[in-house]
Amino acid sequence: MPPYKEKEIKKLFYTIGEVSKILNVNVSLIRFWDNEFDIIKPKKNNKGNRLFSENDIKNLKIIHHLLKNNGFTIKGAKKALKSKKNDFQKNIFLKERLLEFKKFLVSLRESL
């Protein structure tokens, strides 16, 4: 074991394919959400390919949570994002941390 903790390497930008794998949705759905929601602002390279930042991915996770988990409509999600975006960010952050903790506990149990 190294005497230091290896730091996770984060990318500055992610392709639409990488984002679709992170969210487990089709690329076409990411494109649709990009066109529907103003808070998603991917950069485009010379070929016109979308490049998503960490902030874009956070916003896409919120949108995914609202539409898929909470059953919001597009219109309802847009309205909710305007009024309670910070609350949704906190909830998603907590959910991700709890899932990581669960994975840790499961691996710990399996190693016993």
Q: What is residue 52's three-state secondary structure?
A: strand
d(CA 91, CA 93): 5
Q: What is the pLDDT of residues 31-77, one digit of tens each?
A: 999 999 988 999 998 998 999 999 899 889 889 988 988 888 999 88
Q: What is the pLDDT of residues 92-110, one digit of tens each?
A: 777 778 888 888 888 888 8
Q: What is the pLDDT of residues 19-35, one digit of tens each?
A: 999 999 999 999 999 99
Domains by residue range for the chain, with CATH: 14-111 (1.10.1660.10)
Q: What is residue 102's three-state secondary structure?
A: helix
Give Cβ neighbours of residue 55 (< 8 Å, ≥ 6 apart).
Answer: none
C-beta of residue 33 within 8 angstroms of C-beta of residue 40: yes
Give the pTM.
0.68
d(CA 61, CA 22): 9
